[in-house]
Amino acid sequence: MIRASNLGDRWVFMFGFAKSERDNIDNEEVKLMKNLAAVFLAMDEQMVKRAIAAGDLVEIQHGKQETA
């Protein structure tokens, strides 16, 4: 199972696990993810860039190649 959220132009991966490792997420984890989603929704582009630069967020760009 993978938990992700589409926040406007952003997809935020929050939590993932193999179904062989556990059955599901519990209610406390759902509550935590909802709170975390609210924080992400409140972030503007500059805040996201700072969080990425600080290593608090990791940006994954599927299908895009970085050039030197």
In a domain, 66, yes or no: no
11 within some domain? yes
Q: CA angle at residue 59 from 53 to 65, to 5 degrees? A: 110
Per-residue pLDDT of the chain (68 residues; tens, 9 = 90+): 555 666 667 777 777 777 888 888 889 988 888 888 788 888 888 998 899 899 988 887 776 655 55
- Flag whether 60 is in a domain: no
The parent domain of residue 22 ranges over 2-54
Residue 46 lies in a domain: yes
Question: Within its chain, how far is the Cα of 2 from the centroid?
Answer: 11
pTM for the model stands at: 0.60
CA distance 8 to 60: 16
Q: Would you state the pLDDT for residue 54?
A: 96
